[in-house]
A and B are shown apart, each in its own frame.
Chain A
Amino acid sequence: MKGLRFNRKHLCIPYAVFLVLFVIAPLFVIVYYAFTNGQGHFTFDNFVNFFTSTKTLGTLLYSFAVAIVTTAVCLVIAYPTAYILARSKMKKKYVLLLLFILPMWINFTLRITALKEVLSVLEGNISVYPFLNSVIGMTYDFLPFMILPLYTSLQKLDNSLLEAASDLGANKATVFLRVTLPLSVPGIISGITMVLLPSMTNYVVLDMLYNNTYIMGSLIGSYFSAYDWNNGSLISLVLLIIIFIVTLVTNRFSDKDANNKGAIL
């Protein structure tokens, strides 16, 4: 019974089944719905709708704005934090790192609800600053995802490289700009990837903050809850393509440093 002998390749069967059922098949379903109308006929209407409707295009732009600002704010907060945590000789730095990671362990709903209460106290009526609140909410949610890859890539940084740079005449600022920063690029990129894309779609944060603005995620949600699967699928497809392009671009970036790959969580 040679054909039934167990082989190491057989270990991947469960994953292959999962992949087909929950990734590949749904993809085809999405593509099918995106290019058909309610009656099941092939059409480009959904596609045309998306790129001609000011509502959808506006939402796309707004999502980008929220996502980019969120990513920028995360980076500005996370880089110095990760730098201090990774490079300082502090004895208690692991405790500090834990403090930044700890929120990830607390239930998301609880965290955002707490944030909502804080914002209510600070702003009075929280619906007055929807953009600001979106960014605050997303930053609060995604900050650890930026800190961790940065921390890992900065911690791996060989101290002798920094010494070599200062030995060759670089002052502290030059050492940072010409050695530390370029070598932490892989960490920056993986941080950006992990924050930028989710913050375009995570509309739950907005909902929970009583936010009436729309981002891409909210748009998809609203189409599907109105049983318009076709338009909903098309938007998902567009997002998928955007994500694909962004990943391609960032990979191109980190390929340049193929030999000192930064951290991917």
Chain B
Amino acid sequence: MSKSENIIELIDVRKVFDDDTIAVDNFNLEVKKGEFVTFLGPSGCGKTTTLRMIAGFELPTSGKILLNGEDISRLPPNKRPVNTVFQKYALFPHLNVYENIAFGLRLKRIESTYANDKGEKYTKKEKLTKAEIDKKVKKALEIVDLEGFEKRSVSTLSGGQQQRIAIARAIVNEPEILLLDEPLGALDLKMRKEMQVELKNMHKKLGITFIYVTHDQEEALTMSDKIVVINDGDIQQTGTPTEIYNEPVNTFVADFIGESNIFNGTVVGNLKVKFCGATFDCLDDYEINQLVDVVVRPEDIKICKPGEGQLKGQVISSVFKGVHYEITVIVGKFEIIIQSTSTAPVGSTIGLRIEPDGIHLMEKVYTVNKYDGEITKNNTVKFGDGEFECDVTQLYPSSHLDEEGYLITANGEKVDLTGVEVNVEVDTNDIQMSDDKDAGGAQGNIISMIYKGDHYRYIVRTEENEEDYVLSCPDTWNTGDFVGIIIPKDKIKLTLKPAGESK
């Protein structure tokens, strides 16, 4: 990409707020002239902060923002050729519609070149004339379709009209980049859809670069040329709406964009992946035994007769959503969401078929092992085909155990934990292996070892239910070794399952 094509570039931009929260971390982005770019992410992900740094309301802690190749990261907002449409419009309540739109024009100084008597050229900064301002305001009102509103007070306008005025106020200055901070967030659904189309048309007509911030994935998919998915101050993925939807790079993107079924899977052969207890053909090429996240969009799952597809399950709910039915099917212990134009009766058993192009694999980035566990009567926890000693007092703040092994909560209540279902998390660094298969709470075979520079990444699989333990270890073992799994008591993190989630 040549430099001249990029209207704005963010290089290693980082923003740390006064209270040491990192809002944006090493943000790198190039935006081409005329593009419609959307920053998409959940609230608090740093997308608005990034926009505010481009606008000049926040200064980056480090890094550079280049506009047409020039560093503007330290310029105040009034010196930048960008304009912002604010989330809550921020129209001036003491000015009428005309004056609101003319605000920027009245402050503008145009440099013109003149020649004096001796023929020497000189430049002069001049205000726009009244007639020029008038013409531009009229034109802007025309673009947002609010002709004749000049004299109205902004407080008499509806939300949608205020939004249009806010857009008119920004575009009338002919900025190089228009920044839009969740501009449609306060509008109702119908209005929002209309404005989406109008904004898109405006973008085409004006030809200026739009940078749009939203948490609404549908809005992002509808409007953008390019979507930047952001989470925790980091760019997760950059791409066209189709790329983002069809080829999400990680589970966050898959989960955030559209509905998806995400499963733990293992590559079991050339272009073959195993998940939900069945083997599927797929198009993504990974090494055998690689652990993967499998993403299947609900609309890519087809209903067929029991026994015909790869999976078989029972329908537990079917909800009509207008265009399609949303059907929930239980397959073994997995819950699968399907979108289909036809439905199946609740309680019936159906077959499910997933074509290879409906299966998207992503390499698993492992830092913790997550399991569903159950507390036994001995205050140990059962998970992953094993039983481990654990500290159950972490389930309730400031609780303790009495002599009989019952849990006493902070307010003195006695709780019997037997049979309570819990989420179990164990860090990959906290699992050890032992030659003595009975040394720990579980045992299994090493099915994979990958050298990661200074340690090996092992996967140990149990025999009974094929549960996997992923662990890091600096020592060398051999694939196929049968080992015991040891997890120190204080390294097992337990959390109660939220009510209703336990099956």
Main SS at interface, chain A: helix
A169, A174, A178, A257, most chain B CB atoms within 10 A: A169
Residues of A within 8 A of B88 (CB): 158, 160
Shortest C-beta distance, A194 to chain B (Å), equals 22
With known contacts A158-B90, A260-B93, A260-B94, A166–B76 Cβ distance under 8 A? yes
8 Å CB contacts to A: which residues of B386-405? none
B169 touches A168 (CB 8 A): yes
Report the interface size for chain B: residues with CB under 8 A from the other chain: 26
Residue of A nearest to B179 (CB): A167
CB of B456 closer than 8 Å to a CB of A? no
Measured between alpha carbons, how far is A158 from B93 in the docked complex, in Å? Answer: 11
A183:B83 contact, CB within 8 angstroms: no
Among B78, B83, B86, B104, chain A packs the most CB atoms within 10 A around the CB of B78
Among residues of A, the one whose C-beta sits closest to the C-beta of B55 is: A167
Q: Which residue of B lies closest to A161 (CB)?
A: B90
Q: Which residue on chain A has the smallest CB distance to residue B81?
A: A169
Contact B107 A257 (CB under 8 A): no
Decide if A168 touches B104 in the complex (CB within 8 Å).
Answer: yes
CB-CB under 8 A from A185, the residues of chain B are 94
A161 to B170 alpha-carbon distance, docked (Å): 13
Tell whether, in the assembled complex, residue A183 and residue B93 are in contact, meaning their CB atoms are under 8 Å apart: yes
The answer to the question of A182 belonging to the interface, with a C-beta cut-off of 8 Å to chain B, is yes
Chain B residues whose CB sits within 8 angstroms of the CB of A167 once the complex forms: 55-57, 77-78, 82-84, 170
Residue pair A164, B94 in contact (C-beta under 8 Å): no
Residues of the B chain whose Cβ atoms lie less than 8 Å from the Cβ of A260: 93-94
Q: Point out the residue from A170, A174, A257 that lies within 8 Å of B93, measured CB to CB.
A: A257
In the complex, the answer to whether A174 meets B107 with C-beta atoms within 8 Å is: yes
- B169: nearest chain-A partner, CB-CB: A168
Q: State the total of A-B contacts with C-beta under 8 angstroms.
A: 69
In the assembled complex, how far is the CB of residue B8 from the closest CB belonging to chain A, in whole angstroms? 16
| Chain A residues, Cβ within 8 Å of B173 | 168-169
Residue in A164, A166, A169, A171 whose CB lies within 8 Å of B92: A164
Residues 213 to 265 of chain A near chain B (Cβ within 8 Å):
257, 259-260
Measured in the bound complex, the distance between the Cα atoms of B90 and A137 in whole Å is: 42
User: What is the minimal beta-carbon distance from A186 to any residue of chain B, in angstroms?
Assistant: 10
In chain A, residues 87-143, which have Cβ atoms closer than 8 Å to a Cβ of chain B? none
Q: Which of B99-137 contact A (CB under 8 A)?
A: 103-104, 107-108
Tell me the complex Cα distance, A164–B107, Å: 13
A179 surroundings in chain B (CB, below 8 A): 92
Tell me which residues from 139 to 197 in chain A have a Cβ below 8 Å from any Cβ of chain B.
158, 160-161, 163-171, 174, 178-179, 182-183, 185
How near does chain A come to B384, taking the closest CB pair, in angstroms?
A: 49
Write the chain B residue with the least CB distance to A158.
Answer: B90
Chain B residues in 8 Å Cβ range of A259: 93, 153, 155
Q: Specify which chain A residues have a CB less than 8 angstroms from the CB of B93 in the assembled complex.
A: 161, 183, 257, 259-260
Q: Is the CB of A160 within 8 A of B77?
A: no
Interface residues on A, range: 20 to 34
CA separation between A264 and B235, bound complex, in Å? Answer: 48
Flag B165-179 by CB within 8 Å of A: 1 or 0 each. Answer: 000011001000000
Q: In the assembly, what is the distance between CA of A178 and CA of B170, in Å?
A: 17
Chain B residue, CB-CB nearest to A169: B107
Cα distance A160–B179 when bound, in Å?
14
Q: How near does chain A come to B256, taking the closest CB pair, in angstroms?
A: 27
Complexed CA–CA distance, A163 and B58 (Å): 11
Nearest to B101 among chain A residues (CB) is A168
Chain A: which residue is nearest B108 at the CB level?
A: A169
Complex-state Cα separation, A163 to B153, whole angstroms? 21
A-contacting residues, B16-63, CB 8 Å: 55-57
- When distances are taken between beta carbons in the complex, the residues of chain A under 8 Å from B155 are 259
State which of B86, B153, B169 has its C-beta within 8 Å of the C-beta of A160: B86
What residues on B are CB-neighbors of A183 within 8 Å?
92-94
A12 to chain B, nearest CB (A): 32
CB of A169 within 8 A of CB of B90, answer no
Set of chain B residues within 8 Å of A178, measured between Cβ atoms:
103
Contact yes or no, B94 A168, CB < 8 A? no
A158, A165, A168, A257: most-surrounded residue (chain B CB, <10 A): A168
Q: State whether A169 touches B153 (Cβ < 8 A).
A: no
Q: How far apart are the CA atoms of A163 and B169 in the complex, in Å?
A: 14
Q: How far is the CA of A80 from the CA of B449 in the complex (A)?
A: 69
Q: Which of B77, B91, B103 sits near A163, CB closer than 8 Å?
A: B77
The answer to whether A163 and B86 touch across the interface, beta carbons within 8 angstroms, is yes
Nearest B-chain residue to A174, judged by Cβ: B107
Whether the pair A166, B94 counts as a contact (CB closer than 8 A) is no
Q: Which residues of B contact A171 (CB under 8 A)?
A: 76, 78
Please indicate the chain A residues that have their CB under 8 angstroms from the CB of B170 in the complex: 167-168
With A183-B93, A257-B93 already in contact, the answer to whether A166 and B86 are too (CB < 8 A) is no
**Using a CB-CB cutoff of 8 Å, which residues 31-52 of chain A contact chain B?**
none
Q: Which 10 A-B pairs have the closest CB atoms?
A: A168-B104, A160-B90, A164-B90, A259-B155, A169-B107, A166-B77, A182-B94, A260-B93, A167-B84, A169-B78
Sample of 28 A–B contacts (CB below 8 Å): A158-B88, A160-B90, A161-B92, A161-B93, A163-B55, A163-B86, A163-B90, A164-B91, A165-B92, A166-B77, A166-B78, A167-B56, A167-B78, A167-B82, A167-B83, A167-B84, A168-B83, A168-B170, A169-B104, A169-B107, A169-B108, A169-B173, A170-B107, A174-B107, A182-B94, A259-B93, A259-B155, A260-B93
Residues of A within 8 A of B (CB): 158, 160-161, 163-171, 174, 178-179, 182-183, 185, 257, 259-260
User: Known pairs A171-B78, A179-B92, A260-B94. 12 more at Cβ < 8 A?
Assistant: A160-B87, A160-B88, A163-B57, A167-B82, A167-B83, A167-B84, A168-B173, A169-B173, A178-B103, A257-B94, A259-B93, A259-B153
